[in-house]
A = this chain, B = another copy of it.
Amino acid sequence: MIDAIAEDVRKLRLFDGVADTTLRKLLHAAYDQSFPPFVKLVEEGAPADFLHLILEGMVEVYAGARQRESTMAVVRPVSTFILAASVRDAPYLMSARTLQRSRILLIPSADLRAAIASDNHFAMNVVVELAGCYRSMVRHAKNLKLRSTRERIAAYLLRQSRILGNVPGYILPVEKRILASYMGMTPENLSRALKSLAEDGCKIDGQRVIITDRAKFEALADLSPLLDGPDVEASQAGVSLPLPLSDLQRLA
């Protein structure tokens, strides 16, 4: 079992170059489990007993307070989520639920901390991963505070295109209501804003996005590495922007 997991887990930057003994210690008490869609994996406020790695599927990380709820990230393979709570042995600050059937690897937080303490190389990987998570969250906050809703949406849509190789069209990777929540607006507001983007060079038809006037749309989105991240780093970040890499998302 460990060997089967190890193969998938090796793809993770977090374990890159880590000694086999460390990996074995991390995996010996780990669970590799498949969950149906819409299952709550993590409850905010609960003690962080496990580090979660998503191997397959899609997970929404969200937070709530006083009836309200907001999507903080959508995580796709292969990456970790809520690493920070695990290493700190602190309560989760965010909840998580599957959006699709998902395969999740659960590593006991105590084992994680032990591995950090004993394996220098692994510790360095955790540092880099955590720093990436932090930078993702900084970008998220910056987006909320420095861009208008139309700009946020345009930046998001153009970013997706760029990640897929500057394709002119693609399919939205997540439901619009989740997108709306992620970007800090209501679904109604997103709907209206998307419609209005037609005059800025981007047409949205259902789940399909078509960039009709790239130059004009780029001017509105005004992508910047400091707000949107270099492509490379985006895929390193554990808790990051939705990363639509599956074939399904390419426009037919």
Contacts and interface: CB of A to CB of B under 8 A. Distances in A.
Most buried by B among A72, A133, A224: A133
Interface in A71-87: 72, 83-85, 87
A30 interface: no
A127 B128 contact: no
B137 A70 contact: no
A134 B124 contact: no
Contact of A116 (B44, B124, B142, B144): B124
Contacts of A124: 116-117, 123
A142 B70 contact: yes
Interface string A215-235: 000000010111100000100
A187 interface: no
A64 interface: yes
Interface in A124-172: 124, 126-128, 130-135, 137-142, 144-147
Given A117-B120, A123-B123, A130-B131, A142 B93 contact: yes
Contacts of A233: 90
Interface residues of A, number: 51
A91 interface: yes
A118 to B, nearest CB: 8
Identical copies in the complex: 2
B146 A226 contact: no
A197 interface: no
Closest 10 CB pairs between A and B?
Answer: A123-B123, A84-B131, A70-B145, A137-B137, A65-B146, A134-B134, A84-B134, A130-B130, A88-B131, A141-B141
Interface of A: 44-45, 63-66, 68-70, 72, 83-85, 87-88, 90-91, 93-94, 116-118, 120, 123-124, 126-128, 130-135, 137-142, 144-147, 184, 222, 224-227, 233
Given A85-B135, A88-B132, A90-B135, 11 more contacts: A63-B142, A65-B222, A66-B222, A70-B146, A72-B138, A72-B142, A84-B132, A87-B128, A134-B134, A137-B138, A144-B144
